[in-house]
Amino acid sequence: MEKKLTPKQKRLFREEVKQLQDENKKVRLLERPEFSKKVRIAYSPTDQKRPKQQQNPDSIMQMQMEWCENSADLDGTWSWGQNRQWTIQDYDECIKYNLEQLSKLTWSQIYEQQTGGLRKRKRHRKHRDIEIAVICNEAIQRWNEIGLEEYDMAFRFRFSNLQRLWGYKIVHKFKVVWWDPEHRIYPTEKH
């Protein structure tokens, strides 16, 4: 029969095992190569450098403008007699041409474009966001009829004195809705 160890003997045995483990650990550590604990740096930063302010990653302003015409409302006629369907000539010479030129720009560059008199006081944004609530009533009604009521802002490109292209933006993509060659959707006192 095996003899039972007393609590003291158990403790001494555990201590002896622990001591052997520690000695083995020391031997393993001595066999490892020594490493310098100094931090090595290729250069020392100066106090004069400051982090640049980062732009909002959700902003579209640095994105290039893209466009598509799959949302275009081409059915019917406006009350002032203008067909919603643009002519091939209007499309090729004005709509497509201008959108191709604008698609080479970022939204920031598009918003910076100005029009108006030579005096700074009379200049204003050439292309801009416009609330749906301020366009003509017929256009508001049509906007809702074609299922765009979720968009409360439209975007309008100005191509000439009277010619406007209306749509809305989804992130950086412009969705064409209406061609307005007579400036009737958002009339001003001049027109």
Beta-carbon count within 10 A of 87 CB: 13
Structural domain includes residue 95: yes
* 81 pLDDT more than 80: yes
Condensed to tens digits (0 to 9), the pLDDT of residues 31-78 reads: 666 666 666 666 666 656 555 555 565 688 899 999 999 999 999 999
Structural domain includes residue 12: no
Structural domain includes residue 54: no
pTM over 0.75: no
Q: CA separation (Å) from 90 to 78, 95, 113?
A: 17, 6, 23
* 124 pLDDT more than 50: yes
Give me the chain's average pLDDT, please: 86
Structural domain includes residue 97: yes
Structural domain includes residue 186: no
Backbone torsion region of residue 147, taken as left when φ is above 0, otherwise alpha when ψ lies between -120 and 50, otherwise beta = left
191 confidence band (pLDDT: 50, 70, 90): very low
What's the domain count of the chain? 1
Residue 178 class from Cβ within 10 Å (0-12 exposed, 13-18 middle, 19+ buried)? buried
Backbone torsion region of residue 130, taken as left when φ is above 0, otherwise alpha when ψ lies between -120 and 50, otherwise beta = beta
* 104 pLDDT more than 80: yes
Structural domain includes residue 57: no
Structural domain includes residue 190: no
106 CB-near residues (< 8 Å, 6+ apart): 61, 62, 63, 64, 65
116 confidence band (pLDDT: 50, 70, 90): confident
What's the confidence (pLDDT) of residue 184?
94
| Residue corresponding to tokens 């906007």 | 143
Structural domain harbouring 147 = 66-180
54-58, 60-64, 131-135, 160-164: range with lowest mean pLDDT: 54-58
Structural domain includes residue 109: yes
